[in-house]
Structure 1
Amino acid sequence: MADVPSVALIGMHGHGRVHLDGLLDRDRAGRLVLCGVADVREPAQDVLAGRMFDTDAGRLLDRARADIVVITSPAHTHLALAERAMELGSHVLLEKPPVTSLADHDRLAAVAARTRRHCQVGFQAFGSSVVQELVRRSRSGELGSVQRVSVVGCWSRDADYFTRSHWAGHRAVDGVVVADGALINPFAHGVALALRLAAPRPDVSVRVQAEAYHAYPIECDDTMSARIEPAGGVPITAAVTLCARHEFEPYVRVFGSQGHATIWYTEDRARIEVGGRVDELAGDRVALIDDLVANLSNDSAVLCSPLSDTRSFTSVLEAVVAGPAAQPIPPDQLRITPAGRTIPGIEDAVVTAGERGVPFSELGLPWAVEECR
């Protein structure tokens, strides 16, 4: 490998554009060389400045033979592309969710071990100094005995979000799991962080009881509450929606016998409250591509977000996909406008569910029914 690694990008639209812009910036700074890009759609303009482009990702991998491949294509394509990249000698930065089943997760981990290639997963919050400090303090006993963890998320998405691609809003398409849903896609970062705080190891099995709902006419959930129980760990309560009228930044809260801590993981800030003392934390994060570049010659265990640390998350994904179908919320319980659909009172509901550690069906909400659990 050259001193400046070559990088290929699979997927340059949607979230892939964020990766493209970051890679172009690093290329101009001389920190890496963006050698090629693949996407099913041609670039709308000459953003690639003559770099190799192909509409076939597999063909680009064969042509580029890059040191690193960044994969931001849909989740159901991850396994084949990451496997092919590592077989060709590339290290991989794989967007979340990494794969859509435990069998695929274990297969990809075996390929990484055999080829001795790194596979970093795109849970960006794991590069945060604040996340790392909170995990350290929680495990050190500063909060006392950790009793439970909650994930609370309250965002708004319009109808276009669920038509952004042929797989959007689906659990599966033509029998292939695509795993689009509020908890395991947009709020996946919170779930992964909660598991790091609640589970004794990143590879333990989990038990999931989920209540899935949808306000939009889609197959999967846009609103969900779930109880996640990692083996040997403490329970996690998740309460999330994409149908809020008033958004706020998602957070993970740790409840301990001596105090509690809250982290707003998208903002790299946290508050720890123990015995009447409040400690505010703020920091920054290392980008996962930079972390991967810096550790190409080191053991994968030093990475911020290696594939091996995400197996329990994949277990949650698999359980949600295999769980009960999402239940429609009756139109008379919604606020429907040309801008989209919102659920009146959902902001208070997700906060209360997280604070009390209960599902939506225990909050007396008229649209929440225990039968969907």
Structure 2
Amino acid sequence: MADLVVPRVALIGMHGHGRVHLDGLLDRDRAGRLVLCGVADVREPVGADADLVAGSVFDTNAVRLLERVRPDIVVITSPAHTHLHLAERAMLLGAHVLLEKPPVTSLADHDRLLAVAERTRRHCQVGFQAFGSAVVRELLRRNQSGEFGELSRVSVVGCWSRDTDYYTRSDWAGRRTVAGVVVADGALINPFAHGVALALRLAAPQSNGSVRVRAEAYHAYPIEGDDTISARIEPDGAAPVTAAVTLCAEREFEPYVRVFGAEGQATVWYTEDRARIEVGGRVEELAGDRVALIDDLIANLSEDPAGDVLCSPLRDTRSFTAVLAAIVAGPAVKPIPARHLRITPTRRTIPGIEDAVVAAGERGVPFSELDLPWATEECP
């Protein structure tokens, strides 16, 4: 298509994480880099929210909005189980898409959406922001050049805390399914999804998305899904990925991905755009900036969508969708008995979980091999 100097952009979902996108789009609109032509949300904006979107067409029906404004780009931040329908419709109407993670909730949906993108020759960027990081891109480059030697494994470690409000923010929060529809809201495939996607690209950059997953999922909160999980992910013909994460920490720290290679190691704190590389006795610290995925998409609108020019194209995230599907289809989540928790009116934490996730990541083992009482005894 011809270069678009000032693309027209529509946003679907203006609350929650959608507010971050809305603020960014409004900043770019004021700077003349795009035109925010439309906003859709199931809730009518009121007060200050109404003022924010006053210059755009608003509709409570996302598909109707797309048909009214016919944007060049659609940013989709609605719940994951709505992504397929909305992204498919947007591309069929001629728009390129920035799709929040997780992109879809099944491999069948992933393949269907990819086929639509290829048929319509539209870009579909997935919202794994870490792939916009200069540090992450440098780490990926060095890994592909063989600097770390043959990889034995890659680990993902994360330790955050969420309160009870986090699980009452919507009807799909903390759920694997709602009314028979997969929504897949779990620790590893939502808040720590960026780490998983990065680890998979490091371990298996040429993967076709075929993986085997063995997960141990637990919950401290009274939810259907998990808030604490360890997993071993085995991409075909590639190094395994081990993951250990929680949303029930007493002491938070920034998540990281670690590469274990025959010639060296590397650790990247992907939320902070910094890394430490250790090769041949040398230690190198990296830091840098990142490009926003919406800017990356705008810069490449006129490029061939088949050319892998985007930071986070849909085709490169199939392994992540395979992990999501395997976790949802896996064993039921086990409750952690209350005697192993610290419970307040607003928060639940797991004493000692910080040491557990670090040990699991360093040793490449699941929680059940760490002599944790809640992970080894019969629950509840």
TM range (shorter): over 0.9
* 1:367 counterpart residue number: 374
Deviation at 1:207, TM superposition (A): 0.2
300-309 or 352-361: bigger deviation: 300-309
1:281 aligns to what SS in structure 2? strand
Aligned to 1:118: 123
TM-score normalised according to structure 2 size:
0.96
The match for 1:308 is 315
Q: How many residues align?
A: 372
On the 8 A contact 1:361/1:370 being kept in 2, the answer is: no
Question: Residue deviations 1:223-275, cap 9 Å, x none?
Answer: 00000000010011000000001000000000011221000000000000123
Q: Distance in 2 between matches of 1:202 and 1:54?
A: 40
Residue type of the alignment partner of 2:175: H
Mapped partners of 2:302, 2:349: distance in 1? 49
Q: Distance in 1 between matches of 2:285 and 2:260?
A: 17
Match of 2:351 among 322, 325, 344: 344
Report if the CA contact (8 A) 1:203-1:310 is conserved: no
SS at match of 2:152: strand
Deviation at 1:369, TM superposition (A): 3.4
Deviations 1:134-180 (A, max 9, x none): 11112222222211000000000000001100010100000000010
**Counterparts of 2:129 and 2:332, CA distance in 1:** 29
1:236 correspondence with 2:241: yes
Selected match of 2:341 from 334, 339, 345: 334
**1:70 equivalent in structure 2:** 75
Pairwise CA RMSD: 1.2
Once the two structures are superposed, residues 296-315 of structure 1 have per-residue CA deviations (whole angstroms, 9 ceiling, x without a partner) of 11022100000000001100
Check conservation: 2:184, 2:324, Cα contact below 8 A. yes
% identical aligned pairs: 81
1:370 is displaced (CA, Å) by 8.4
Give the unaligned 5+ runs of structure 1.
none
Indicate whether 1:192 and 2:194 are aligned.
no
Normalising by structure 1, what TM-score? 0.98
Aligned to 2:28: 26
> Structure 1's 255 and 370: CA in aligned 2 closer, same or farther, altered over 3 A?
farther
Runs of at least 4 residues off by over 3 Å = 369-372
> Separation in 1 of the partners of 2:24 and 2:66?
20
1:18-57 to structure 2, matched below 5 A, reads 18-44=20-46, 45=48, 46-57=51-62
Q: Shift in Å at residue 344 of structure 1?
A: 0.4
In structure 2, relative to structure 1, the CA distance for the partners of 1:287 and 1:200 (3 Å cut) is closer
Report the counterpart of residue 354 of structure 1 in structure 2. 361
What CA deviation, in whole Å up to 9, does each residue of 1:329-355 have, x standing for no partner? 000000001230000000000000000
Distance 1:209 1:70 in 2: 33
**Structure 2 counterparts to residues 124-163 of structure 1, below 5 A:** 124-163=129-168
Say whether the 8 Å CA contact 1:202–1:310 is kept in structure 2.
no
- Mapped contact 1:269–1:280 kept (Cα < 8 A): yes
Q: Contact conserved, 1:203 with 1:308, CA < 8 A, in 2?
A: no
Letter in 1 for 2:86: L
